[in-house]
A = this chain, B = another copy of it.
Amino acid sequence: MSLMREEALQAPQAAARLLGEGAGAVAQLVQHLVQAPPRAVLTVARGSSDHAAHYLAYLAMAHLGVLVTSLPMSLVTLYSARIQRDGLLALGFSQSGQSPDLVAPMRWFSEGGAHSVAIVNDAASPLAQASRWVMPLHAGPERSVAATKSFLCQLVAGAYLVATWQAQRDGERSLLQALGSLPEAMAKAAALDWSAALPLLQDAQRLMVIGRGTGLAVAMEAALKLKETCAIQAEAFSAAEVQHGPMALVDDGYPMLVFAPRGPAQPGLLALAAQMRARGAKVLLAAPPDVKEALLPLAASGHEELDAITTAQSFYGLAEALARARGLDPDAPRHLAKVTRTH
């Protein structure tokens, strides 16, 4: 079994650890945030971690009404932007917590009086040390180059933070309560069979992944993983954005992976899938079993907005199997494992 598959299958247990052992860290942080509400919220992240940051941002804006800015790190590392730091909440997402271009901005925010939080797998990492608060991911050691369980734990951590904050601030506990059964739903999602997608994507060179709302972050993650592990040039779009240009690419047989979990964005996603199918696209629709056109089943969690997490869990099984079906080693993405230094 590949490391990628092995670690993806560990995610439900890791999520349970995060929701159990991680309770103290999130409670302490949220108590502080409720007492001294931040003036603004920003995220600092790259790659898969940045997709998790997008998920948190969407949830925070939808559930808490706070605006969240995705910080271009070059503003701090290259441009010395004079951002007023006190009263900010700066959330840094990383698996390893090692990347200097992440550590530098987080240290800079800490020094300027921001509430800086490292949402990180290695709680002893430089990123954790540069931050005033740490939310450890509890994912356990991750050896696969393509992150899986650490990404899923980052999604869970983001939902956990927003849900706890909402419960403490507003007394609204539905998201928090739904998190309790999430590890079980993730285990169900990991067992779902997405192999129907394999023959359809066996020879794909180009692909679009479509999501919306909380699901867009998962489409972004899927597109990156399909690049890394399957060498498919996959790009993510929101169902609205794809109609502003990108669909010029869609012709007969063009493959599109559409994530349409429950929720307010679902009708638009299903309509788009039908429209693209009518145009001749090869639409791979991931949706709950009650959607009759669904090719790839989605498992429901305890809350519509946590279905993004079960969607990602099911997707990883496909990415790993597709890499192997295409003759690639999912544990050895080209150019990513080894470091090449040139001039």
Contact = CB atoms under 8 A, between A and B. Distances in A.
A77 to B, nearest CB: 9
A201 interface: no
A231 interface: yes
Report which residue of A42, A50, A249, A264 has the largest number of chain B beta carbons within 10 angstroms of its beta carbon: A249
Given A79-B264, A213-B79, A247 B335 contact: yes
A245 B228 contact: yes
A207 to B, nearest CB: 9
Q: What is the total number of copies of this protein in its complex? A: 2
A343 B233 CA distance: 28
Interface stretch (A119-127, A181-189, A190-198, A234-242): A234-242
Interface in A246-262: 246-251
A194 B229 CA distance: 34
Interface string A279-310: 10000000000000000000000000000000
Interface stretch (A14-22, A62-70, A135-143, A312-320): A62-70
Interface string A33-50: 000000010100011101
Interface in A91-123: 101
Contacts of A336: 245, 247-248
A2 to B, nearest CB: 16
Nearest to A99: B244
Interface stretch (A5-13, A24-32, A81-89, A155-163): A81-89
Given A224-B246, A247-B336, A274-B343, 10 more contacts: A46-B244, A68-B69, A70-B70, A78-B212, A78-B264, A227-B248, A228-B245, A229-B248, A231-B248, A279-B340
Interface of A: 40, 42, 46-48, 50, 58, 61-63, 65-75, 78-79, 81-84, 88, 101, 205-206, 212-213, 216, 224, 227-229, 231, 233, 235, 238-241, 243-251, 264-265, 268, 271, 274-275, 278-279, 333-336, 340, 342-343
